[in-house]
């Protein structure tokens, strides 16, 4: 019998280096990545989402008949968005770039544009893992109900390894079982 999912809400959220994904994602591989991934422990209320943009279609008409005879399609971006309500300077550096001041005393913003890529891992409330092995990170400071949160958007990109999909979904029991087998 197939698994029915809703993929509602967010239970846990992590990020890791893209180099952690060395092969097509499976339960055992994700369980290994989670051992060293950094957990994001605060997502500001109602800011987490996954959204896939509508594809862009171009239709071509037959000039003789006036009807469409072919089309080309460009896929829409798949984006994971959230705002971190509480964070440390290391997380700010990891997701916004820049440099730490004396390990944990502060943060300097980088000059210019910084390209940041992270493996993004979300666990939904109905126990579905959603993974972007290579997410292009855009983070900014954002006012969230009187505090300055880190608004993060991660766009799924094609990973450097051709065997790895840009987006993978796995049932949590596949990952948990894999983790218990490796212990």
The answer on pLDDT for 178 being more than 80 is no
Task: List Cα–Cα distances, 43 to 12, 105, 149, 163, in angstroms.
Answer: 9, 23, 9, 31
pLDDT given at position 179: 59
H helices present in 46-171, as ranges: 89-96
pTM of the model: 0.90
Q: Exposed (0-12), middle (13-18) or buried (19+): which is 127, by Cβ within 10 Å?
A: middle
53-81: pLDDT as tens digits = 999 999 999 999 999 999 999 999 999 99
């Amino acid at each position: 019998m197939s698994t029915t999912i809703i993929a509602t809400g967010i239970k846990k959220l992590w990020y890791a280096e893209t180099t952690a994904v060395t092969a097509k994602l499976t339960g055992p591989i994700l369980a290994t990545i989670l051992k060293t991934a950094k957990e994001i422990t605060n997502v500001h209320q109602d800011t987490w989402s996954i959204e896939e943009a509508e594809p862009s279609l171009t239709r071509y008409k037959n000039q003789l008949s006036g009807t469409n005879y072919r089309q080309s399609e460009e896929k829409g971006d798949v984006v994971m968005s959230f705002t971190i309500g509480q964070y440390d300077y290391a997380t700010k550096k990891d997701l916004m770039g820049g440099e730490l001041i004396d390990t944990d005393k502060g943060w300097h913003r980088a000059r210019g544009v910084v390209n940041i890529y992270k493996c993004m891992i979300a666990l939904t409330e109905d126990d579905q893992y959603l993974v972007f092995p290579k997410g292009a990170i855009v983070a900014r400071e954002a006012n969230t109900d009187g505090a300055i949160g880190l608004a993060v958007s991660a766009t799924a990109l094609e990973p450097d390894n051709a065997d790895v999909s840009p987006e993978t979904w796995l049932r949590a029991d596949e990952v948990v079982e894999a983790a218990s087998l490796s212990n």
